[in-house]
Structure 1
């Protein structure tokens, strides 16, 4: 059994600078929260641009960015652009715990690590918005996992903030090499963005060099 797993990000963690706050601690530019970081602060040993089947929806209210948070909808037809980080099982558990505003090494982190070998598709660990673990494939013989809400397909859409979308755009550019237009066209299809963000505004956001303040 390998200790390595791929954590697949699809929201603001697409950007390395933002994801590293979960690993080594700190506050991302434009954010409202300081992260404690993982117990093991080693940075991912590899990253890869990936696409996984499903859809992207924004819902709820982010305490870090304001506006809707990104969720992976396994039931939706289409594809989601992601970024896979090669981390340890313990780090994956600690990242998930921090997503739920819990401490690294907490019960959620331990439960997630203990469940990984048994997850073939989806495992609900709790009622929280990021307490569902989905196995979304395999890369180089190593399983790929992400976290989401089991009921993402039924969540009420909510418009994401400019700061949150900026980090997602930065990550799509870093990982996939997409142009500002492709990023804007991808994001405008997501529930929560539809009807709330115009293409021109998304284009302008995708070309900004600095993160705007959180909403």
Structure 2
């Protein structure tokens, strides 16, 4: 993608860790398990790169997914722990359009990301994916994602994910090439909401190991932005 276009890393920690799922948000179309058609982005090119990523904070499962059944993934950057995901290098416009589709809004307008990058957080609405988070930088480029406006709930507010959802997440993380099949299964089974309902063995049995798309590589780590106070 031309260097003149502002770029951001979209940190996917849920279904969009799987690049084939992200493709529907970029190109448009209806994912096999979904009922909604994704309108796609104005710029339909694939990500410039996709790399495994470790973020500060935790991924947890809560609410009810109308697509997958069971809990869906959210990210709490303030929770104590580490979150595994996949960072996709997009233009700022592509990220705006992907975020709009996750918020059930029509894509086509550019989000003002400067404030989010400067402060680390911005709220566009009360919905479950209408809060933008910038946990830091990767290779000097802002890392952005979206999540719920609330912090990780207590046990009563958590919701176990479905087998279909975990299978999809395991495939996405597995294709990233930084973690073994067993490591991915153990990580997902230990996430709040899944813990106590799923074992590492049960998650591993959902699918065969996913072949990585390239040679093995350690995950990248999001670094704090030194420009923040």
TM-score > 0.5, shorter chain as reference:
yes
Instruction: Extract unaligned runs of 5+ from structure 2.
Output: 211-229
Task: Give 2:192's aligned residue.
Answer: 191
> Cα RMSD over matched residues?
1.8
Runs of 4+ deviating beyond 6 Å: none
Query: Does the C-alpha gap of structure 1 residues 38 and 194 become closer, same or farther in structure 2, counting only changes over 3 Å?
Result: same
Deviation string, structure 1 residues 66-117 (Cα, Å, up to 9, x no partner)? 1111000112111111111111111111111111222212xxx54xx21x11
Structure with the larger helix share: 1
Task: Give 1:142's aligned residue.
Answer: 141
> Aligned-pair distance for 1:154?
2.4
TM-score by length of 1: 0.87
Q: Does 1:74 align with 2:73?
A: no
d(CA) in 2 for partners of 1:60 and 1:8?
21
Task: Give 2:168's aligned residue.
Answer: 167
Q: 1:76 aligns to what SS in structure 2?
A: coil
Task: Give 1:213's aligned residue.
Answer: none
The number of aligned residues is 203
> Aligned-pair distance for 1:133?
0.6
Q: 2:128 aligns to what SS in structure 1?
A: coil
> Aligned-pair distance for 1:18?
0.9
> Aligned-pair distance for 1:140?
2.1
Q: 1:130 aligns to what SS in structure 2?
A: coil
Task: Give 1:43's aligned residue.
Answer: 46
TM-score by length of 2: 0.82
Task: Give 2:10's aligned residue.
Answer: 7
Q: 1:153 aligns to what SS in structure 2?
A: coil
d(CA) in 2 for partners of 1:191 and 1:201?
16
d(CA) in 1 for partners of 2:7 and 2:124?
21
Within 5 Å, give how 1:1-215 maps onto structure 2. 3-105=6-108, 109-110=109-110, 113-114=111-112, 116-119=113-116, 120-154=119-153, 156-207=157-208
Deviation string, structure 1 residues 117-149 (Cα, Å, up to 9, x no partner)? 112211111101111111121122211101001
Instruction: Determine if contact 1:133/1:147 at 8 Å carries over to the other structure.
Output: yes
Q: Higher mean Cα deviation, 175-184 or 165-174? A: 175-184
> Aligned-pair distance for 1:206?
4.0
d(CA) in 1 for partners of 2:191 and 2:149?
18
